[in-house]
Chains A and B, each alone.
Chain A
Amino acid sequence: MKKPVMVVGGGIAGIQAAADLAEMGIPVFLLESSPSIGGRMAQLDKTFPTNDCSACILAPKVTDCYNHPLVKTFTLSDLEEVRGEAPNFTAVVRKRPRYIDEEKCTGCGDCSSVCPVSVKSEFDMGIGKRKAVYKPYAQAVPNKAVIDNSACRHCKLCEKACRSKAVCYDQEEEVFEIPVSAVVLAPGYDVSSEIPAELGYSKYADVVTSLEYERILSASGPFAGHVQRPSDGKPPKRLAFIQCVGSRDHQCSADYCSAVCCMYAVKEAEITKEHLPEAEGVDIYYMDMRAYGKDFDKYVDSAKAKYGINFIRSRVAETDRDEATGNILLKHADTGGNVHKSEYDMVVLSVGIVPKEENIKLCSRLKVKTDRYGFIWTGEMSAPESSREGIMACGAATGPKDIPETVIEASAAAAAAAKAASKTEVDLFKSYPAFFTEEPMAQVRDVSKEPIRAGVFVCSCGVNIGGYLSVGEVVEYAKSLPFVTFAGEGLYTCSVDFQTVIIDKIKEYGLNRIVVASCTPRTHEPLFQGVLQKAGLNPYLLTMANIRDQCSWVHMEDANAATFKAKELVRMAVGKAVYAKQLSKKKLDVNKAALVIGGGAAGLSSALELSGMGYSVHIVEKTGELGGNAKSLSATMFGRPVGNYLADFIRDAAEDPNITVHLNSKIKDITGFVGNFTTRIEALGSAGVSTEGSPPAECTTMIEHGVVVVAVGASEKKPDAYLYGKSPNVETQLKFEERLKNGDSCLSGVKDVVMILCAGSRDENNPYCSRVCCNQSIKNAIAIKEYNSDINVTVLYREIRSYGLSETFYRRARQKGVQFVRFEDDEKPVVAQKEGFVQVSAIDPLLSRDVAYRADLLLLASAIEPDREGNKTIAQMLKVPMTQEGFFLEAHVKLRPVDFATEGVYLCGLAHNPKNLRESIVQGKAAAARAGTVISKDFIEAEGAIAAIDMDLCVGCGECERVCAYKAITLEEVQARGKAAKKAVLNDVLCKGCGTCAANCRCGAIDVGGFSDMQVINEIEYLLRGDVEAKQGWEPKIIAFLCNWCSYAGADLAGTGRMQYPPNIRVIRVPCSGRINPAYIIKALAEGADGVMVSGCHPGDCHYLTGNMYARRRFTVLKKLLETAGIDPNRVHFTWVSASEGGRFAEVVKEVTDKVGKLGQVRADGQLSPPAGES
């Protein structure tokens, strides 16, 4: 095994880097200085530009990382020092006391409920409260309490309340040393506290920061998602956002742009409108709307058109409070110079990103360079490497950036760290016995021929379950159920002690189906599956009944009802367990070579990184030389000459024995899938003409590889306006830069230069922002001024998008005398050819006057344009999607920015979206890391719970192929009963187990492991044919099908929040709402369920990309069918609940119970009741 890497910081950057490394087989020590991992992203309500629920998309990543066998997480820990040199570092770690024994704490929360101390919650930005002994937030990972020693009064109430004896006040700080091969710094950022006094933040309660507002918006926040102003709790009617607070401001330490505030303000504005549709005005006050990322302009457009958000180009000077109404007055000037005092109920300050104080101290201890602000320095061409070899840095700690760029940089840091680690070899269990221990694998017992012997273990969870329902009764009842051989109870079934009890009972009674009735499988399933494995059972023989989060915690007032429900939940679990099968994970060999399509900067950087990790790489480049667009660049923004770096890149690639370069070549076709691709490469004639027709043997190469990196690039568009190609005085920025680089005398005799920005971007043809043009123009303008300061340079722009630290170059350009003049979107500059020069005229919006400029040289910042046709061909070969604009579409814009949904295929550089050289190089490295997670393995292991197709039943209709988001199913010609027939064939490795195909299969040929038809149906039958002692009178019984990732998590959150709702609901967990076969719903109603509730992720949020969309379509049809079948469709309720909407879940349950209660019993006399109105 490779020597471990240390990752510092447990936010999204650290989590991504740690998970990538672990997936590459490299052990990781993850250090987090706070009590839980998740970082800033966990505090966010939604994320732009998709409005995905932040908690929903983050939580799976956090738990996967934390539970990974190769990741050892230390919370409350800081890196003190790093001694030695890579890859032989010694890291010194200081771990502060938690005052809670992590081994013993079950996260039940009994301690917090008795704690008498209440202090401001850091997680809720001080708006909400927490106790002195607390979990930072409901879904905190690790799920352990922590004592805040500064607030604790040592009253010892928590010690008395804790039944697992986890409280230990005498815990002490530990300092220990760990040998590591590399270090990744991802320590995160702070939000600016330098708020100009005149904005009234410290004076008025209703002026809040954007991060405080994020918590106000959050369904799990201090106001449970009810948007209200802090002063009087009233919902705001008019709300304003003020941009650039603590950014782009020379009066505070941040004169740079914070890069994310424009977009998060748009997001918060949209969410405000969703919460308060009756709000009269939601206004954003801004200087330049920096919507420079992928689809950001579309997002802004929809905020205007769909949500009615007003964008006001104006910097607010000061705020005041109207004492009569308590409203806040904003003083600002409009474009014409008229001064306004606009009244708002509430004001949100879009505060900027600043480096953490601790980061600066950390870097000085580590002898790692920071820039003048305190961001960790990384070279433009060498990022994410820091100034010290073997130490990488990523995320907002290296400069302001959004989540996708953070994730990209984190993956790139993982690649660089993997390179360092690749030179090492250690015996992990011998060298790190304190942190990694080898689990002895028990001999697996095949139970398929055994009679079913189920064991039921019911947890008291201290008093969390036992205090609100009778665990003893549930155990006794379980004993009476069919197939149950043993039933017992435990104080904490998850405790180490009780795990041994479970193993002993399995052996003693020969148990072969295990039901654990305790908390939620979302957090504890992996733990109990591990227990089964230790006992020699296949882990899929475990079934859990959630009698805490979805029972005892939500029916705290009614012990009888809770006990009754727990019995039924156990009964359902036994019903499901009966049909549990032993599932195995299929394995497939992996070819350890990579194909990189495109030999530009991104492709080169990806190839070099892969080679550095020890893999062989094929680069296929369509032109005759490597380097791509970077060949035209003269210098980077920070003034580094590109040529030298690029020459090094090209030489390294050419000389690298691991890299084969195919020039003048194109991809003819690609077959296969992750781990096993075969590609035909065709060499073109030197003139670029296909040599098809001539003997193919000489010009066609077949290669085999395990992964593909798409780095096909894009190019500068030839402008079709502003006299381009018609006037000798007009040139594009890239061409000009190339001429400048080549020492061309393009500036001799030039007195006046005019630049026009957005010359081809953000218009009807190319609606997107090309992102690099503002900065490139600023860079070229500075170069011209440095060449001769007497040359007049005028930049005509719509918006200066010098995002992040580039803002400082915008200022430098102004200081050098470059003139920046804005023009309105609908008043484009007009150009006219004159004798020897071009006259450019544009209306100055500030003066409302037409101004004419002379241009000896007119430079056009043209668009970056994808090769739509070329990309389409590649997209079809790889079965990957494209955007409307012709770029490639990644798996998830926020958290999977270099992956495709199709496994084994990765994306980087301009093919993804316009970006600068540094960003392309970093994304190339990130793609290498992601590809490395596949080809580092000797074989790929498929998921255990996946689809299976019964060939005899399949009719080859292709409905499954159509709905599979992962392209895991293909229709293939196979031999069936001696005849050739089209059948659906599943690729086990690609299948994610969502089950959308199974629910869509007309002939019932597809089933899903762990959520099979028989399991679901038996759950229904066991519930409704059960004979739990009849209750007095009729009470509606409702079955709820909840998707695992959003709605089930939302239901759990209702539990953690102790939100009480009627006990009539019985939840059946499914992987995705797409799994729900309409037949289940009919079956449930026919068996006597009075109502059925179906809930999945919100549209667009689906964990499996599109499953909920198909579910929605299916249920629209089902409603009609129910009417025909004589069932009142009102008995079936479809809804969407996200993982952060615990309150909403409780409300929906109340509403559905109420509705179904009014409809009455579904079959009072054994008959289905007709729809209302027909009776």
Chain B
Amino acid sequence: MSQIENFEQSFKKEVASQPGGERVLNCFLCGTCTAGCPISEIEPGYNPRNIMRKILLGMRDELLNSSEIWKCYQCHTCVSHCPQDVRFADVVRALRQIAVKEAIFDESFAAAVEKADYDARVQRLEKVNALIEERSK
């Protein structure tokens, strides 16, 4: 097991100073975010709690470079369940901003993710409309 030695304890403060990241310090890592997360349900490795753990520990590089922070689709279920008012969905947005600012991911990538979210919504709506139409036939 490789030992983690280099972390930046100031990272949590950095996140907290970003819009959306303000409440990051409230977290007591209960895991309700993960338990209720619809993405964790379909993507076994995706674990919001571990993202929080890495923020609090200060594993800055590992986190900002990981694909994890882009998987959230902003449904805010975690926000409605969270007993400590951490607002994980907003925290993730704060992480993305830092990652873009640091040019770890470029802006076009972020825009593409947003587009994917938008497309998914459009696609869903189209499908539901089609189902309704079929039903009324």
| Chain A residues proximal to chain B, CB less than 8 Å | 196, 198, 244, 248-251, 287, 314-318, 331-333, 335, 337-339, 792, 800, 810-811, 814-817, 819-822, 841, 843-844, 846-852
Q: Is B56 an interface residue (CB 8 A)?
A: yes
Q: Do A333 and B49 touch (CB < 8 A)?
A: yes
Q: Do B35 and A814 touch (CB < 8 A)?
A: no
Residues of A within 8 A of B54 (CB): 847
A314-B57 CB under 8 A given contacts A198-B81, A250-B83, A792-B9: no
Task: Determine the residue in chain B with the shortest Cβ distance to A336.
Answer: B47
Q: Is B50 an interface residue (CB 8 A)?
A: yes
Q: How far is the CB of A850 from chain B (nearest CB, A)?
A: 5
> Can you sample 16 A-B contacts with CB below 8 Å?
A250-B85, A251-B85, A287-B28, A315-B35, A318-B36, A318-B81, A333-B32, A337-B31, A337-B45, A337-B47, A337-B49, A339-B37, A810-B28, A815-B26, A819-B9, A851-B7
Residues of B within 8 A of A244 (CB): 83
Q: Do A814 and B27 touch (CB < 8 A)?
A: yes
A338-B81 CB under 8 A given contacts A844-B53, A847-B53: no
**Docked CA distance A317–B36 (Å):** 5
Q: How far is the CB of A248 from chain B (nearest CB, A)?
A: 6
Q: Is B84 an interface residue (CB 8 A)?
A: yes
Q: How far is the CB of B69 from chain A (nearest CB, A)?
A: 15
Q: Which of B29, B32, B54, B84 has the most chain A CB atoms inside 10 A of its CB?
A: B32
Interface code B1-40, partner A: CB below 8 Å = 1, 0 otherwise? 1111101010011000000000001111111101111001
Residues of B within 8 A of A315 (CB): 30-32, 35, 83
Q: Do A337 and B50 touch (CB < 8 A)?
A: yes
Residue from B2, B27, B35, B82 in contact with A339 in the complex, judged by beta carbons closer than 8 Å: B35
Q: How far is the CB of A62 from chain B (nearest CB, A)?
A: 38
Residue from B2, B34, B49, B84 in contact with A850 in the complex, judged by beta carbons closer than 8 Å: B2
Contacts A333-B32, A814-B28, A849-B4 aside, 14 further interface pairs with beta carbons under 8 A come to A250-B83, A287-B30, A314-B35, A315-B30, A318-B35, A332-B35, A333-B31, A814-B26, A841-B3, A849-B3, A850-B4, A851-B3, A852-B3, A852-B4
Task: Determine the residue in chain B with the shortest Cβ distance to A330.
Answer: B35
Residues of B within 8 A of A196 (CB): 81
Interface of A is mostly: mixed
Q: Do A331 and B53 touch (CB < 8 A)?
A: no
Interface code B68-98, partner A: CB below 8 Å = 1, 0 otherwise? 0000000000001111110000000000000
| Chain B residues proximal to chain A, CB less than 8 Å | 1-5, 7, 9, 12-13, 25-32, 34-37, 40-41, 44-45, 47, 49-50, 53-54, 56-57, 80-85
A333-B34 CB under 8 A given contacts A815-B25, A851-B4, A851-B57: yes
Residues of A within 8 A of B47 (CB): 333, 337
A331-B4 CB under 8 A given contacts A250-B84, A844-B53: no
Residues of B within 8 A of A846 (CB): 29, 49-50, 53
Q: Which of B9, B12, B47 has the most chain A CB atoms inside 10 A of its CB?
A: B9
The 8 lowest CB-CB distance pairs between A and B, nearest first, are A337-B47, A317-B36, A317-B35, A315-B30, A333-B35, A333-B34, A249-B83, A333-B31
Residues of B within 8 A of A249 (CB): 83
**Docked CA distance A196–B83 (Å):** 10
**Docked CA distance A314–B33 (Å):** 11
Task: Determine the residue in chain A with the shortest Cβ distance to B37.
Answer: A339
Q: Do A338 and B44 touch (CB < 8 A)?
A: yes
Q: Do A819 and B56 touch (CB < 8 A)?
A: yes
**Docked CA distance A792–B10 (Å):** 9
Residues of B within 8 A of A316 (CB): 32, 35
**Docked CA distance A388–B73 (Å):** 55
**Docked CA distance A635–B1 (Å):** 42
Q: How far is the CB of A796 from chain B (nearest CB, A)?
A: 12
**Docked CA distance A846–B51 (Å):** 10
Q: Do B50 and A331 touch (CB < 8 A)?
A: no
Q: How far is the CB of B18 from chain A (nearest CB, A)?
A: 16
Residue from A198, A817, A844 in contact with B13 in the complex, judged by beta carbons closer than 8 Å: A817
Task: Determine the residue in chain A with the shortest Cβ distance to B23.
Answer: A815
**Docked CA distance A10–B5 (Å):** 58
**Docked CA distance A332–B49 (Å):** 12
**Docked CA distance A852–B1 (Å):** 12
**Docked CA distance A648–B35 (Å):** 52
Q: How far is the CB of A539 from chain B (nearest CB, A)?
A: 59
Task: Determine the residue in chain B with the shortest Cβ distance to A752.
Answer: B9
Residues of A within 8 A of B56 (CB): 819
Residues of A within 8 A of B81 (CB): 196, 198, 317-318
Residues of A within 8 A of B40 (CB): 333, 337, 339
Q: How far is the CB of B127 from chain A (nearest CB, A)?
A: 24
Residues of B within 8 A of A815 (CB): 25-26
Residues of A within 8 A of B82 (CB): 250-251
Q: Which of A196, A810, A847 has the most chain B CB atoms inside 10 A of its CB?
A: A847
**Docked CA distance A99–B27 (Å):** 54
Task: Determine the residue in chain B with the shortest Cβ distance to A810.
Answer: B28
Residues of A within 8 A of B50 (CB): 337, 846-847
Q: Which of B49, B54, B57 has the most chain A CB atoms inside 10 A of its CB?
A: B57
**Docked CA distance A287–B83 (Å):** 12
**Docked CA distance A148–B47 (Å):** 54
**Docked CA distance A333–B30 (Å):** 9
**Docked CA distance A314–B49 (Å):** 12
Q: Do A331 and B84 touch (CB < 8 A)?
A: no
Q: Which of A244, A287, A337 has the most chain B CB atoms inside 10 A of its CB?
A: A337
**Docked CA distance A287–B37 (Å):** 18
Q: How far is the CB of A569 from chain B (nearest CB, A)?
A: 60
A850-B37 CB under 8 A given contacts A251-B83, A287-B28, A333-B49: no
Q: Do A811 and B30 touch (CB < 8 A)?
A: no
Q: How far is the CB of A855 from chain B (nearest CB, A)?
A: 13
Residues of B within 8 A of A811 (CB): 26, 28, 84
Task: Determine the residue in chain B with the shortest Cβ distance to A789.
Answer: B13
Q: How far is the CB of B2 from chain A (nearest CB, A)?
A: 7
Task: Determine the residue in chain B with the shortest Cβ distance to A811.
Answer: B26
**Docked CA distance A817–B8 (Å):** 13
Task: Determine the residue in chain B with the shortest Cβ distance to A335.
Answer: B31
Residues of A within 8 A of B49 (CB): 333, 337, 846
**Docked CA distance A249–B13 (Å):** 23
Q: How far is the CB of A788 from chain B (nearest CB, A)?
A: 13
Q: How far is the CB of B132 from chain A (nearest CB, A)?
A: 24
Residues of A within 8 A of B4 (CB): 849-852
Task: Determine the residue in chain A with the shortest Cβ distance to B41.
Answer: A339
Residue from A338, A821, A850 in contact with B1 in the complex, judged by beta carbons closer than 8 Å: A850
Q: How far is the CB of A795 from chain B (nearest CB, A)?
A: 12
**Docked CA distance A792–B13 (Å):** 12
**Docked CA distance A776–B36 (Å):** 34
A817-B12 CB under 8 A given contacts A250-B84, A314-B35, A852-B5: yes
Q: How far is the CB of A641 from chain B (nearest CB, A)?
A: 27
**Docked CA distance A243–B32 (Å):** 13
Q: How far is the CB of B63 from chain A (nearest CB, A)?
A: 11
Q: How far is the CB of A910 from chain B (nearest CB, A)?
A: 29
Residues of B within 8 A of A248 (CB): 83
Q: How far is the CB of A707 from chain B (nearest CB, A)?
A: 46
Q: How far is the CB of B29 from chain A (nearest CB, A)?
A: 7
Q: Which of B5, B13, B47, B83 has the most chain A CB atoms inside 10 A of its CB?
A: B83
Q: Do B3 and A814 touch (CB < 8 A)?
A: no
Residues of B within 8 A of A852 (CB): 3-5
Residue from A317, A810, A814 in contact with B25 in the complex, judged by beta carbons closer than 8 Å: A814
Residues of B within 8 A of A318 (CB): 35-36, 81
Residues of A within 8 A of B2 (CB): 849-850
**Docked CA distance A847–B25 (Å):** 18
Q: Do A250 and B26 touch (CB < 8 A)?
A: yes
**Docked CA distance A251–B78 (Å):** 13
A817-B25 CB under 8 A given contacts A248-B83, A250-B85: yes
Q: How far is the CB of B72 from chain A (nearest CB, A)?
A: 14
Q: How far is the CB of B87 from chain A (nearest CB, A)?
A: 11
Residues of B within 8 A of A841 (CB): 3
Q: How far is the CB of A469 from chain B (nearest CB, A)?
A: 60
